[in-house]
Structure 1
């Protein structure tokens, strides 16, 4: 018997009677029913999610955002119902919960009453997370619950995108306002820098002037320090002269009556008159320039007092401005620091530099305020001291002419007295007239001496005031010089800090991009949804059914072979006994189910491709892998039957169940427990599933060829086992070989 005759004989046996033909046809369509019906039921379940009953409960009370009422719960409810992804029903909380329990709804989405309130809190100082409550019951369907979870995530993502976009728009508008405000701040900082530069120049000029004033006031104080004691001595001498002149006048008046003792007395009188004349001439010469000098002193002191008063009055607004600037600088710095710290466009180094500049500005303005306060006090002291000096100098200037006039009269009287005593001494006969002239001169001398005494008294009383004013002027000028120096130093720091502030603010402003409303709208859309998942599937299944097809086609091929071997004989015992050609017998026994499997696989392919409309990229390759898998499974089940008989037939069922778990047809094989994961690479259905995926989805044909090679190795190995067992049976039989099989 040849292989062909063996195949014909087996087919004839299968179709010998109507019942046999009916059984044959029924077993032939088993894989078609299994694979086709299951894939038909699961062809595209996600396209019919709108038939899944679901309820939505909106309890949201709304909230207020930027002065307007918002109700995100109503928006979410409307979008869900309009989207029609599920068969939504808007209902109450009690009905929804009972509906989930009794199966009316597969799941319920509940929007809490504070949903909008929590969402708008994202733009406040105390943000809280909003929640959507998903109610499910796995008694309805576990997969429905899983789908509901995905629906909840989709709703959450949509709400997050909307709220995120609104928050991003608010942030971008705030940044635009900050940029505009920084522009104004930059302009103000530039003006501040310019003003402080001018103030710094004026402060240095003021410091130079107050330095010169301090030096001159110190010299004036030094020069007038001895003036009180000198004027007291002058007043004492003038009082003595006045007293002597008065005594002289009285004596001369008596002398007119007492001329008897005149010769001896006139000699003494002439000597005294000459001494008096000499002293008065010296006093006259020393006090000749006193009116002019005192007038110059009064004029200079008046100019100093006027200048100091003007300086104090004109410096007051500047000092008040500086103190106001010093008082406002902490607030300005406190306002700008949060803006700098919250900026998202500045680098950390830029923020550090800008904050350091603000700290320098605050420190410089504080020091400037303190220096301005000291300067104000010192200017008031200078104003008071210079006014006192001016008053003393004016009083001295007023009394100096009278003093000089008195000294001049006294000098003139002494000359007359000297001339008279000379004549008296030279010419006794003319004594009466000389004494009379002397008496007249003595009267004049007495009057002048009295005036001199009055002037020196006034001068003595004004001298302490003048000296005290000069000292106050020197102290005030020194304090003013110190304050002006401190002011200049503070303005130097303020100038540096304001320039750094202007530069840093301008640099920070340029880091914030300028944008208009449309640009901010686009930016907010990108910020709220920054990542879009692109579809770049190098090998895509057209739908859910196509995704399961490789697994169920492989299972259908195994089930088809298992069912056929319920009526097929693995090998012909008659052929073993009569022909004794084990290779031909094995090949004939395998070829019959292989040909029937080819018919099954081609028919199943047409159902998958055309009846179910599942896309297949490589049609020839897919049919080839299906046929190869069916032939391989036929060889494996035949080898089990040849080797173990009916036990082998049962092991074929067990092996199918193991591969149902380990083939990785539904979940990735990496999720399997360790022992099952090891079997994944050992059993043939793994490679048939992977090869059909590669050819059906347009994947790696190299991998498909590799999988086909593994299947071919299983095919040849199974045939080799069958050949070895059959060859042994052609040589001898055992009692087990003669025992009838359970499958006939």
Structure 2
């Protein structure tokens, strides 16, 4: 008896009656009905979310906000969100009051409710105020309506939240960038003022330099004047003493007049030179004194301009002006004294020349000189008194001019620092303007859009299922293959016990026991493949490879359930149901198997359905063929292992047989 004969005999037994044919056809249709209905029912559930009723409650009363240009406007983000959601067709939005929504989500009228409260717009616009507050979207769910509806509600609420965040974020970013543009305009004005300030301080610095140079020259002239005046005073006293002696010693008049004339000529020459120096000093001092009011006016104006532009403080301005006014007054006072001394020097020079002329006449006319000696002595005394005054005044002037020179130098230093600071201010403002993101209105609009939504998801798929149902197809096909084989073993004998008793060839009987459910399972898989590709229209990247893999999967399942039946009988058949339930959880058909608890994740690798699901995915979506071949290898290992167990069971049966084993039965 060959394997083909055994298979033909088993098939003839299954179709020997109308009830048998009906049972076989019904069981053959189990995987077709299971896979077809489940995949049809789950073909595109997300595409039908538009029929899910969702309550929408908008209680927003609006808010007043201030735009970047200072104008105020009234906004109502709640109405805007409501209008956008009603245009959206992702779910069936139904406007309702708060009371209607509460009742509706409880009695199932609404699967969930989305509520925008009274302060929704106020909270959204609060970031521009001193008390920012996060706006909230209230989501009300009821798991008695549907647990997955709650999950969908969370996704919808997150989508609404992201849309609101993008819209409000764009407006906030635009207002921020508009503020930068306003700052840039103000900075340009400030830069113009800083440049004008820098120009003014440069002019002031030049004036202070001239003032310092003039003060230094005045100081030098005053020191020279003091020295000359002291020398003139000494000479004048000497002259007065000599004339007094001359008056007392007229007996030596002829010889002394010659010496007197010589000394008088020297005194006259010295006084003339002193008068010339005094005149030059007086001219310079007068020039400086004349320029003092204008210099004070210019410096005061520059200081006031710096104060108005807030470059310096009021304290600094007062300090500069306080130092400036006494300094100018000292220059004017010194000029007055110098002019007075200059007049006295001129008188001194004139007097000394007269003395020299007199001494010359005296020397020429000694007899008449005695009468004039008394007059000369009197004039010399007056000259000594005048030179004393000149010496005192020039000493006072010489004592004051160092302070004038020092003050002018300090003023110059301060104005130079002010000038340097003004130029640094102008440069810093210009650099700051260059670092500001100054953009046009269109550029700010684009930048605000990017800031509010900075990252876009660029999805690229190595493989992709054509629909949600196609994504679930590998799992349902694998499960349908197990259910189909399990159902067939309700009427198929695992092994022909008569053949075992008659032939005592366990290999042949075991092969025949696998071929019958294997052939029927292959037919089931061909039918399921037709439902998936033709009736449901799912695309398959490797159709022949997928069909072959499905047949291998079905035959492997047949071998496993065959082994369970051979060794455990009806208990083994029940264990086949238990294994189906376990693999329903551990195959990773819905959620990734990595999300399973540890023991169940271990069963994912220990049971065949996980490999069947993975292999069908690789072939259906156009994935990695190497992984598909690896899955084939694992399934073949299960197949060979199950066949080996079945052969061992058949071999055991050939040794001991009972009359009960020979009794025919619909269920082997």
Q: Under a length normalisation based on structure 2, what TM-score does the superposition of the two structures give? A: 0.86
Residue 710 of structure 1: how far off its partner (Å) = 1.3
Instruction: Show the counterpart of 1:319.
Output: 299
Residue 120, structure 1, aligned to residue 132, structure 2: no
| C-alpha spacing 1:581/1:517, structure 2 compared with 1 (3 Å) | same
- Structure 1 gap segments, 5+ residues each: 246-267, 333-361, 422-440
- In terms of Rg, which structure is larger? 1
Q: 1:669·1:677 contact (CA, 8 Å) conserved in 2?
A: yes
Instruction: Show the counterpart of 2:524.
Output: 600
The aligned runs of 1:438-517 (5 Å cut-off) are 442=371, 453=381, 456-484=384-412, 487-488=415-416, 490=417, 495=420, 509-510=433-434, 515-517=439-441
Instruction: Show the counterpart of 2:335.
Output: 387
1:426-464 CA distance string (max 9 Å, x none)? xxxxxxxxxxxxxxx74x666666566555545544542
Instruction: Show the counterpart of 2:223.
Output: 218
1:138-158 CA distance string (max 9 Å, x none)? 222221111111111111111
The aligned runs of 1:694-705 (5 Å cut-off) are 694-705=618-629
Residue 594 of structure 1: how far off its partner (Å) = 1.6
Instruction: Show the counterpart of 1:302.
Output: 282
The aligned runs of 1:730-741 (5 Å cut-off) are 730-733=654-657
Residue 630, structure 1, aligned to residue 630, structure 2: no
| C-alpha spacing 1:122/1:610, structure 2 compared with 1 (3 Å) | farther
| C-alpha spacing 1:171/1:485, structure 2 compared with 1 (3 Å) | closer
Residue 85, structure 1, aligned to residue 90, structure 2: yes
Residue 689, structure 1, aligned to residue 613, structure 2: yes
Q: Distance in 1 between matches of 2:644 and 2:627?
A: 26
Q: Distance in 2 between matches of 1:180 and 1:736?
A: 105
Q: Which moved more, 1:670-679 or 1:50-59?
A: 50-59
Q: Which moved more, 1:601-610 or 1:206-215?
A: 206-215
Q: 1:388·1:465 contact (CA, 8 Å) conserved in 2?
A: no
| C-alpha spacing 1:552/1:321, structure 2 compared with 1 (3 Å) | farther
3-state SS of the aligned residue for 1:567?
A: coil
Residue 467 of structure 1: how far off its partner (Å) = 2.5
1:553-608 CA distance string (max 9 Å, x none)? 11111111111211221111111112323222222222222222222222222222
Residue 725 of structure 1: how far off its partner (Å) = 1.0
Instruction: Show the counterpart of 1:64.
Output: 65
Residue 502 of structure 1: how far off its partner (Å) = 6.0
Q: Which moved more, 1:182-191 or 1:733-742?
A: 733-742
Residue 327 of structure 1: how far off its partner (Å) = 5.0
Q: Which moved more, 1:730-739 or 1:633-642?
A: 730-739
The aligned runs of 1:164-563 (5 Å cut-off) are 164-178=169-183, 210-224=215-229, 233=237, 271=251, 281=261, 284-289=264-269, 292-293=272-273, 295-320=275-300, 323=303, 376=324, 379-380=327-328, 382-397=330-345, 399-400=347-348, 403-404=351-352, 407=355, 418-419=366-367, 442=371, 453=381, 456-484=384-412, 487-488=415-416, 490=417, 495=420, 509-510=433-434, 515-563=439-487
Q: 1:586·1:726 contact (CA, 8 Å) conserved in 2?
A: yes
Q: 1:399·1:455 contact (CA, 8 Å) conserved in 2?
A: no
Residue 575, structure 1, aligned to residue 499, structure 2: yes
CA RMSD of aligned residues (A): 4.0
Q: Distance in 2 between matches of 1:113 and 1:319?
A: 63
Q: 1:374·1:483 contact (CA, 8 Å) conserved in 2?
A: no
3-state SS of the aligned residue for 1:129?
A: coil
Instruction: Show the counterpart of 1:346.
Output: none
Residue 154, structure 1, aligned to residue 159, structure 2: yes
Residue 522 of structure 1: how far off its partner (Å) = 2.7
| C-alpha spacing 1:154/1:221, structure 2 compared with 1 (3 Å) | farther
Residue 201 of structure 1: how far off its partner (Å) = 6.5
Q: Distance in 2 between matches of 1:7 and 1:127?
A: 81
1:138-191 CA distance string (max 9 Å, x none)? 222221111111111111111222222223333434444555666666666667
3-state SS of the aligned residue for 1:69?
A: strand
Instruction: Show the counterpart of 1:677.
Output: 601
Q: 2:293·2:328 contact (CA, 8 Å) conserved in 1?
A: no
Q: Distance in 2 between matches of 1:204 and 1:406?
A: 44
Q: 1:42·1:545 contact (CA, 8 Å) conserved in 2?
A: yes
Q: 1:290·1:400 contact (CA, 8 Å) conserved in 2?
A: no
Q: Which moved more, 1:444-453 or 1:81-90?
A: 444-453
| C-alpha spacing 1:225/1:109, structure 2 compared with 1 (3 Å) | farther
Q: 1:389·1:465 contact (CA, 8 Å) conserved in 2?
A: yes
Q: 1:169·1:521 contact (CA, 8 Å) conserved in 2?
A: yes
Instruction: Show the counterpart of 2:577.
Output: 653
Q: Distance in 2 between matches of 1:94 and 1:317?
A: 80
- Structure 2 gap segments, 5+ residues each: none
Instruction: Show the counterpart of 2:139.
Output: 134
Q: Which moved more, 1:609-618 or 1:635-644?
A: 609-618
Q: 1:402·1:455 contact (CA, 8 Å) conserved in 2?
A: no
3-state SS of the aligned residue for 1:63?
A: strand
Q: 1:382·1:477 contact (CA, 8 Å) conserved in 2?
A: no
Residue 587, structure 1, aligned to residue 511, structure 2: yes
Q: Distance in 2 between matches of 1:391 and 1:736?
A: 156
Residue 670 of structure 1: how far off its partner (Å) = 0.8
Instruction: Show the counterpart of 2:535.
Output: 611
Residue correspondences, number: 663
Instruction: Show the counterpart of 2:168.
Output: 163
3-state SS of the aligned residue for 1:569?
A: coil
Q: 2:232·2:271 contact (CA, 8 Å) conserved in 1?
A: no
Q: Distance in 2 between matches of 1:124 and 1:729?
A: 89
Residue 308 of structure 1: how far off its partner (Å) = 2.2
| C-alpha spacing 1:296/1:128, structure 2 compared with 1 (3 Å) | farther
Residue 83 of structure 1: how far off its partner (Å) = 0.9
Residue 671 of structure 1: how far off its partner (Å) = 0.9
1:286-307 CA distance string (max 9 Å, x none)? 5434774564355334323223
Q: Distance in 2 between matches of 1:708 and 1:50?
A: 41
Q: Which moved more, 1:65-74 or 1:315-324?
A: 315-324
1:372-396 CA distance string (max 9 Å, x none)? 6697367426514532432431441
3-state SS of the aligned residue for 2:606?
A: coil
Q: Under a length normalisation based on structure 1, what TM-score does the superposition of the two structures give? A: 0.78
Q: Which moved more, 1:50-59 or 1:558-567?
A: 50-59
Q: Distance in 1 between matches of 2:373 and 2:357?
A: 7
Q: Distance in 1 between matches of 2:59 and 2:224?
A: 91
Q: Distance in 2 between matches of 1:77 and 1:603?
A: 49
Q: 1:576·1:726 contact (CA, 8 Å) conserved in 2?
A: yes
Residue 707, structure 1, aligned to residue 655, structure 2: no
Q: 2:463·2:621 contact (CA, 8 Å) conserved in 1?
A: yes
Residue 405 of structure 1: how far off its partner (Å) = 7.7
3-state SS of the aligned residue for 1:113?
A: coil
1:102-156 CA distance string (max 9 Å, x none)? 3222222222333333333445666543322222222222211111111111111
3-state SS of the aligned residue for 1:8?
A: helix
Instruction: Show the counterpart of 2:653.
Output: 729
Instruction: Show the counterpart of 1:44.
Output: 44
Residue 75, structure 1, aligned to residue 84, structure 2: no
3-state SS of the aligned residue for 2:93?
A: strand
